[in-house]
Structure 1
C-alpha cells in the first residue's frame, strides 16, 4: 500500500512515472520468478475497480 501511495503522490505532483519503474518497485517487494507486466497490470486494475488508486492504472496501463 505504501508503494501505491508513493505513486499516487508522484502522479499528483506531475512527476514522470513509467511502467518499468513501477514494475521494478513492485518486484522489489514481491519477488517473482515469472516477472511480466501482466501481474502489475492486474493488481493496479483490481485496485482501480475497487475505487483505489485509479490514477495509477490509468496513467501506467490505461492506454493498453
Structure 2
C-alpha cells in the first residue's frame, strides 16, 4: 500500500476499510465517481505488478 500514490491509496482505504461508497468518496474530494473507481481499480494493477516483481524475495 505504501507504494501507491496518495490519491489511489486514499481511495482504496476509504472504500475497503472505512466502507465508503465511490459516490461518498467522490463527494468528499469533489471528484466524479468514475475517478474514484479508476483510482481503486488501477491501484490493484499497481499492487499486482509490485507483488509479481517482488515475489522471489519471499520464496523459501
With structure 2 as the length reference, what TM-score do the two structures score? 0.41
With structure 1 as the length reference, what TM-score do the two structures score? 0.39
Larger radius of gyration: 2
More helix by share: 2
